[in-house]
Amino acid sequence: MLSVPTILLIILIFIILVIKFNRNTIISLVKTLSDFRRRRMTWRSGCGCLNWNRINDVVVVPNIECFALPSPIPQWPPGDGFASGTINLGELEVREITKFEFVWGTDIKTRRKGVNFFKPVGIPDGYYCLGYYCQAAHNPLRGFVLVAKDLAKSDPPALIEPIDYSLVWCPDDWTEDNTHSHGYFWLPMAPDGYKALGFIVTNKPAKPSLEEIRCVRDDLTDSCEPHHMLYNTNSKVAEAAFRVWKMRPCNRGMHEKSVSVGTFFCSCIWSPGEDLNVSCLKNLNSCTQSMPNLDQIHALIKHYGPTTYFHPDEIYLPSSVSWFFENGALLYKKGESKGERIDPSGSNLPKGGRNDGEYWMDLPHDSTGEKIKEGNLESSKVYVHVKPALGGTFTDIAMWMFCPFNGPGCLKIGLMNYQLNKVGHHVGDWEHVTLRISNFTGELWSVYMSQHSGGVWVDPTNLEFIEGNKTIIYASRNGHANYPHPGDCLQGSANLRIGIRNTAAPSKYSLDSSKDYEIVAAEYLGDGVVNEPCWLQYMRKWGPTTVHDSRAEVTRILNRLPSPLRWTAQSVFNKLPNELYGEDGPTGPKEKCSWFGDEKC
């Protein structure tokens, strides 16, 4: 803010100029001064544009909070490659870098919409950078990128310098009001037979050194895809719209070899369906060498196992599978009217095959069945499946919880709530939480929470912790969908406030998975290490197909609404999956696509 004397001095100087020079001279002088101050050097590369306002730009480093788990990571039981700090991918050895130096950020004044870009630091001798890191500015700093070391020293080498850089983008509307420095995005130009795995970001117009990064030989890489947009310039000109995404391998699952590098993808010309100009790594070594052994698995569960809280008004609590069988669950076969009691171990269940509709489970149609619906919290436990993820660089610990019955849902339309009678009813309900553990350190990296037909990955920065590094999960009333915080979560349209209402809250009803668990599968450990229970081989439904028309109940409620609201609400509910309507009993854990594949989100 200029002081009053300064303003008066400027006015006086201007009056003198008016007296001494004519109007055209003054305009020319002002324009020359303005052009001098705002001089710019601009060149085009693809759709990117570089603006050079001041050579001596000072990078303003925002106040960045770093995240750490509440408690230190313990010393894990001894083993082979798990938590050793490095992972051998065959010709390459990789390390996880989690320390970064801020390079440039967008929208520093409005951090909610901005992103920050970081250079990995503390890279050990012999290892090389593969790309920089990016994340949302409003979140505490927490991420990783991999650095690589050439083990084979083969010809051609596994790692090589780029031959040049291509300027992908830089802001073309720079002013002192929207940022404090420039950002320049560089794609390494890989030699023939090599791929780039990430981008470099600088805050100066000069090209980075070719020694800054390495490209990887083609046969050691795999394809990747963008999966979450971090930043969008929202330019009115489509060709100038710059976007930044997180990246993940295209091929994911317990048998896949693709390895996430942790870098980002950016472009202003890419369209969905096109191949990316960057890749991920491939694990050509055994994916199991970096995985935890059985003792380490138990230690991980005891250290990280979450506690699930059920709603204080929950009627349909979980139980163990054996309790469900012992208390009267029946197995039905197509064409037969009478059900067969199931052995507590599930030994008389049909094994293998597929969900062909030939068999299903149901409850007795009497007071016994009503009692089973309530579950038995004292007997309940989580059933644990341990598997490799992202080419063996992570371990997924999937914890499955069984509830004998799924209760009715609640319809929300604006401010009105309609408790449903049948919609959501079905016998048998399987939900799960997956802990994703870094095999470099044994650190909890992310938690997946199943929510009806899908789910979400939640970063630890958005989790609640109850004891040390044990997280809290909130199960919704009646439906048992999992959420990181208590409150109301709407499945439908949050903007229109129309959908199925999921309500979660803490209570005295809880299940501690760090104590009440059973490991039912860990295929990578080999035969005989973990014996799978008989019921896990049952691939058919854990409940019958519902005979009533659940959607008719929703339609009756919608028909009471005014026409405009009715049509809007109907369009929202038409997009909801059938699972929410309870029209089919669920299949068991091993029949889910996430058993062998990645989580659905």
Cis peptide before 484 (omega within 30 of 0): no
| pLDDT value, residue 579 | 57
Query: Which is nearest to 183 in space by CA: 195, 192, 174, 191?
Result: 174
pLDDT at 266 (0 to 100) = 95
Q: Does the pLDDT value for residue 408 go beyond 90? A: no
Helices and strands, counts by H and E, the chain: 7, 39
Quick one: pLDDT at residue 63?
A: 84
Cα distances from 144 to residues 159, 254, 440, 542, in angstroms, run: 20, 21, 11, 41
Rg (CA), the chain: 29
- Looking up tokens 């039981």 gives 77
355: helix, coil or strand? coil
Q: How far is CA 214 from CA 90, 197, 285, in A?
A: 17, 8, 21
Tokens at residue 454, please?
């899908």
Q: Is 89 left (phi over 0), alpha (psi -120 to 50) or beta?
A: alpha
Question: What pLDDT score does 13 carry?
Answer: 63
Q: Is the pLDDT of residue 421 over 70?
A: no
The yes-or-no verdict on residue 264 having pLDDT over 50 is yes
Residue 439 has φ and ψ, to the nearest 5°, of -80, -5
Which residue reads 């597929």 in tokens? 354
Helix ranges, 305-430 (H): 321-326, 367-373
Tokens of 87: 């992972």
**Token representation of residue 83:** 């938590």
Q: How far apart are CA 393 and CA 81, in angstroms?
A: 11
Asked if 342 contacts 349 with a C-beta cutoff of 8 angstroms, the reply is yes
Exposed/middle/buried for residue 326 (C-beta within 10 Å: 0-12, 13-18, 19+): middle
Q: What are phi and psi of 505, to 5 degrees?
A: -160, 150
First to last CA, the chain: 50
> Is pLDDT above 50 for 583?
yes
| DSSP secondary structure code for residue 78 in this structure | P
- The domains of the chain are located at 86-282, 294-591
Q: Which of 111, 203, 201, 123 is nearest to 165 (CA)?
A: 201
Q: Please say if the pLDDT value at position 19 is more than 70.
A: no
pTM for this one? 0.86
> Does the pLDDT at position 312 exceed 70?
yes
- Does 421 or 358 have the greater pLDDT score? 358
Residue 388 carries which side chain, given as an amino acid letter?
P
Residue corresponding to tokens 């309790």: 323
Q: What's the confidence (pLDDT) of residue 123?
A: 98
At 46 the pLDDT is 35
Query: Which DSSP letter does residue 172 get?
Result: S
On whether the CB atoms of residues 349 and 331 are closer than 8 A, the answer is yes
Contacts of 543 (CB under 8 A, 6+ apart): 360, 361, 362, 426, 427, 428, 584, 585, 586
Percent of the chain with pLDDT over 90: 64
- Give the mean pLDDT of 176-199: 83
* Band (194; pLDDT cuts 50, 70, 90): very high
**Which tokens sit at 488?**
């109301």
Q: What is the mean pLDDT of the chain?
A: 85
* 48 strand-pairing partners: 45
Structure tokens at 330: 């029946």
Structural contact between residues 240 and 47, judged by C-beta atoms closer than 8 angstroms:
yes
Under the banding of pLDDT at 50, 70 and 90, the label for residue 403 is: very high
Task: Supply the pLDDT for residue 577.
Answer: 61
